[in-house]
Structure 1
């Protein structure tokens, strides 16, 4: 697994069932582990990992309580089985 996927899965595992994460949390984790100051540079790889995890039905996306079928605009991430 790549660092982005590991960060997303690890953050979700740290949350209670049904709680979501923001993709920027995963980007911040990757940046911190790499000692990089700008977490925003990690966002493209986070988005790619999110797309892959959605395709694998491992995660679901939502925004303000509404389910999203694909990444679009702002979104939150939750484990697929926690919907």
Structure 2
């Protein structure tokens, strides 16, 4: 079952990849940490960001399917539905790898 994309997760990804700039990527954990930091009543657990990873991954699939970001594995663009394991996100580029 796929988790529906979360507006906060979408915003976190877009903010981070935009700040990094073209051809630079972010790790999904960067977005998950940003979401965890934005929760006003967050716990003191340093691993609390992990619970945001499913939302970040669902948001990344949505953004990739809508053409806003690329999902990368080993530096190569992959199809959103093929996302698993270690991946990174970047703004969509027209550059071929």
- Identify whether the pair has TM-score above 0.5, normalized to the shorter chain: yes
Tell me the TM-score normalised to structure 1 length.
0.89
SS, match of residue 74 in structure 1: coil
Alpha-carbon distance between aligned partners in 1 of 2:94 and 2:21, rounded to the nearest angstrom: 9
Higher-helix-fraction structure: 1
Determine the structure 1 residue equivalent to 2:91. Answer: 79
Does residue 42 (structure 1) correspond to residue 49 (structure 2)? The answer is no
SS, match of residue 67 in structure 2: coil
In the TM superposition, residue 82 of structure 1 has moved relative to its aligned partner by: 6.3
- The answer (yes or no) to whether the contact 1:22–1:76 under 8 Å persists in 2 is yes
Report which of the two structures shows the higher radius of gyration computed on alpha carbons.
2
Offset from partner CA, 1:16-73 (integer Å, 9 cap, x none):
3210000110000000010434000111111110111111011111122222112121
Q: 2:73 aligns with which of 39, 63, 72?
A: 63
Tell me the TM-score normalised to structure 2 length.
0.77
Alpha-carbon distance between aligned partners in 1 of 2:92 and 2:21, rounded to the nearest angstrom: 13
Q: What are structure 2's unaligned runs of at least 5 residues?
A: 1-5
Residues matched between the structures, number: 83
